[in-house]
């Protein structure tokens, strides 16, 4: 059970291309990430590359309409402009919805991208996959989630948990297609850690941490040592797949036995005032938990704001009178105020702790909403244009990039593809896309993404 204010919601450093070429073509077929990392340690790669920074992604499952949030059209006809009014922000010329007053005071920190678009099907899953991976769905091969790529680029000793998803995975949003939060060909070693618990609950406890109740710590350690002895034999003929499996096992064991990992998830260490500041709901407490994880070395945290669009109060504002009956009232009373509080507090808290310059905060969604209201007063799926925004890291805030046309129907200026947003996140995390490579299918070193960052962001 997730909590939306008073509403209970049922849960339905890297290798350069130049260094790669210097190694020569001979013998590269079996080159895997550990080999690359050892080469880097030996000086085969440029030591001057900056340390990979952090990222917190807030993914607004269901997708809020651009007209009702961050790209209002007050001069458009009534059946297009909707019910909400714009308010000025601290940056002259930038207006946002009246129900984000705290966000308006932090406009100097984030950059609005008002010309996002894609040409795929208007499904939740297609847009989610695009924004989670930077690749259009479906493709010839499943592509890894951005957090899994960061996991591969982050040596294990630098982060016990390179990537985490809060509070739960995305579930049913209409079809059985992938949502994009999997490691794909990178293997189970780079699977995200899913919290699978609601941090807003009074008895919140991480479901995946702790030694099983029927095992003593001595017995658990003994079983681990036995496994190590058996695996030592297998490693004589080790395959990349078995190595990845062992890596995943070691990470899981470390989590179960590490006091520091347990402390990272312990919201009881926060003051009641800080917990109140974020908001005593699933989104607010997830944002607070994300800050705690980043403080303790986790590189990539994604917060799924809702795991489904059916039978819950979420961003999918169809107003259909059935199981997707989200309306303007829901936006005004719950969704906008909750996001305004949690997001603004996250930016403030990160800045106060000196973490904002080291942490990209990306607010993403899978598509926009129809410019014209439907007969029930809602808006339906619409990928031709929408708004997302980035803050932190090396992002230059206090600006709007791109523009939609006068009725918010399509990009009018500087159309931006989802792949460019993902490329920008990597770039803002300090990753040089022309130098850093990753293991592709079959262990081939490939570019992280075939897109370029949005130049105006930096």
175-215 pLDDT per residue, tens: 999 999 999 999 998 999 999 999 999 999 886 665 445 55
* Poorest-pLDDT segment among 40-54, 202-216, 258-272: 40-54
Q: What are phi and psi of 428, to 5 degrees?
A: -65, -20
SS3 state of residue 427: helix
More confident position, 38 or 62: 62
Where residue 234 falls among pLDDT bands split at 50, 70, 90? low
Q: What residues contact residue 93 under an 8 Å CB cut-off, 6+ apart?
A: 400
Half-sphere exposure of 284 (CA within 13 A, CB side): 25
User: What are the tens digits of pLDDT across the range 75-96?
Assistant: 999 999 999 999 999 999 999 9
Cα-based distances in Å from 55 to 106, 124, 165, 206, 274:
19, 23, 12, 21, 21
Q: Is the pLDDT of residue 356 over 70?
A: yes
pLDDT score at 18: 38
Q: Is the pLDDT of residue 317 over 70?
A: yes
| Cβ 282 vs Cβ 198: under 8 Å | yes
pLDDT score at 438: 84
pLDDT score at 31: 36
SS3 state of residue 55: strand
pLDDT score at 154: 83
Percentage of the chain lying above the pLDDT 70 cut? 76
| Cβ 93 vs Cβ 143: under 8 Å | no
pLDDT score at 401: 98
Percentage of the chain lying above the pLDDT 90 cut? 69
Where residue 67 falls among pLDDT bands split at 50, 70, 90? very high
Q: What are phi and psi of 194, to 5 degrees?
A: -90, 125
Q: Is the pLDDT of residue 222 over 90?
A: no
pLDDT score at 11: 46
* Poorest-pLDDT segment among 135-144, 325-334, 410-419: 135-144
pLDDT score at 208: 60
Which residue from 217, 190, 63, 39 is spatially nearest to 127, judged by alpha carbons? Answer: 63
Q: Is the pLDDT of residue 27 over 70?
A: no
Where residue 21 falls among pLDDT bands split at 50, 70, 90? very low
In this prediction, residues 275-304 reach a mean pLDDT of 97
Prior bond of 167 cis (ω within 30°): yes
More confident position, 431 or 1: 431
The C-alpha angle 371, 377, 380, rounded to 5 degrees, equals 45
Q: How far apart are CA 382 and CA 370, in angstroms?
A: 5
Which residue from 8, 58, 60 is spatially nearest to 311, judged by alpha carbons? Answer: 8
> What tokens were used for 74?
């007050």
In this prediction, residues 282-293 reach a mean pLDDT of 98
Which residue from 393, 279, 258 is spatially nearest to 337, judged by alpha carbons? Answer: 279
In this prediction, residues 256-274 reach a mean pLDDT of 86
User: What are the tens digits of pLDDT across the range 394-413?
Assistant: 999 999 999 999 999 999 99
Where residue 366 falls among pLDDT bands split at 50, 70, 90? very high
Q: How far apart are CA 136 and CA 179, in angstroms?
A: 11
pLDDT score at 15: 42
Q: How far apart are CA 445 and CA 422, in angstroms?
A: 19
pLDDT score at 442: 81
Which residue from 335, 306, 330, 307 is spatially nearest to 318, judged by alpha carbons? Answer: 330
User: What are the tens digits of pLDDT across the range 106-144?
Assistant: 999 999 999 999 999 999 999 999 999 999 876 667 899
Cα-based distances in Å from 352 to 170, 263, 293:
31, 21, 16
pLDDT score at 43: 32
Where residue 263 falls among pLDDT bands split at 50, 70, 90? confident
SS3 state of residue 305: strand
Where residue 25 falls among pLDDT bands split at 50, 70, 90? very low
pLDDT score at 220: 46
Q: What are phi and psi of 300, to 5 degrees?
A: -140, 120
Q: Is the pLDDT of residue 3 over 90?
A: no
Q: What are phi and psi of 246, to 5 degrees?
A: -65, -40
Q: What residues contact residue 423 under an 8 Å CB cut-off, 6+ apart?
A: 134, 433, 448, 449, 451, 452, 453, 454
pLDDT score at 444: 85
**Crossing angle of the two packed helices 418-428 and 124-133, in degrees rounded to 10:** 30
pLDDT score at 48: 41
Q: Is the pLDDT of residue 392 over 90?
A: yes
């Amino acid at each position: 059970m997730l909590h939306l204010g008073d509403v209970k919601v049922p849960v339905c450093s890297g290798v350069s291309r130049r260094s790669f070429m210097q190694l020569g073509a001979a013998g590269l077929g079996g080159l895997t990430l550990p080999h690359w990392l050892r080469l880097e340690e030996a000086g085969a790669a440029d030591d001057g590359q900056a340390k990979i920074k952090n990222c917190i992604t807030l993914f607004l499952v269901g997708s809020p309409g651009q007209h009702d949030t961050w790209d209002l059209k007050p001069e458009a006809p009534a059946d297009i402009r909707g019910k909400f009014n714009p308010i000025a922000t601290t940056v002259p010329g930038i207006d946002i919805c009246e129900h984000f007053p705290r966000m308006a005071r932090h406009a100097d920190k984030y950059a609005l991208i008002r010309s996002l678009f894609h040409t795929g099907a208007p499904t939740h899953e297609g847009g989610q996959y695009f924004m989670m991976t930077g690749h259009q769905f479906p493709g010839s091969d499943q592509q890894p989630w951005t957090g899994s790529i960061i996991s591969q680029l982050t040596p294990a000793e630098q982060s016990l948990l390179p990537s985490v998803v809060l509070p739960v995975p995305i579930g049913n949003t209409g079809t059985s297609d992938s949502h994009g939060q999997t490691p794909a060909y990178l293997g189970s070693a780079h699977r995200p850690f899913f919290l699978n618990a609601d941090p807003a609950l009074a008895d919140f406890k991480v479901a995946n941490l702790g030694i099983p109740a029927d095992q003593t710590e001595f017995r658990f350690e003994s079983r681990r040592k036995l496994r190590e002895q058996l695996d030592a034999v297998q490693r004589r003929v080790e395959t990349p797949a078995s190595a990845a499996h062992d890596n995943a096992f070691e990470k899981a064991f470390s989590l179960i036995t590490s006091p520091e990992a347990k402390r990272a998830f312990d919201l009881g260490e926060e003051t009641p005032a800080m917990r109140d500041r974020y908001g005593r709901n699933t989104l607010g407490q997830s944002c607070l938990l994300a800050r705690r994880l980043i403080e303790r070395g986790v590189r990539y945290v994604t917060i799924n704001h809702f795991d489904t669009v059916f039978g819950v109060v979420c961003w999918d504002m169809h107003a259909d009178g059935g199981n997707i009956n989200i309306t303007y009232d829901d936006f005004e009373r719950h969704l906008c105020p909750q996001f305004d509080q949690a997001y603004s507090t996250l930016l403030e808290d990160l800045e106060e702790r000196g973490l904002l310059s080291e942490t990209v905060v990306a607010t993403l969604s899978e598509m926009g909403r129809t410019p014209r209201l439907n007969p029930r007063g809602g808006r339906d799926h619409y990928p031709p244009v929408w708004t997302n925004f980035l803050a932190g890291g090396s992002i230059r805030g206090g600006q709007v990039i791109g523009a939609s046309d006068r009725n918010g129907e399509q990009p009018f200026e500087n159309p931006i593809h989802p792949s460019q947003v993902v490329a920008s996140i990597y770039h803002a995390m300090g990753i040089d896309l022309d130098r850093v490579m990753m293991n592709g299918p079959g262990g081939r070193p490939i570019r992280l993404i075939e897109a370029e960052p949005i130049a105006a962001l930096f």
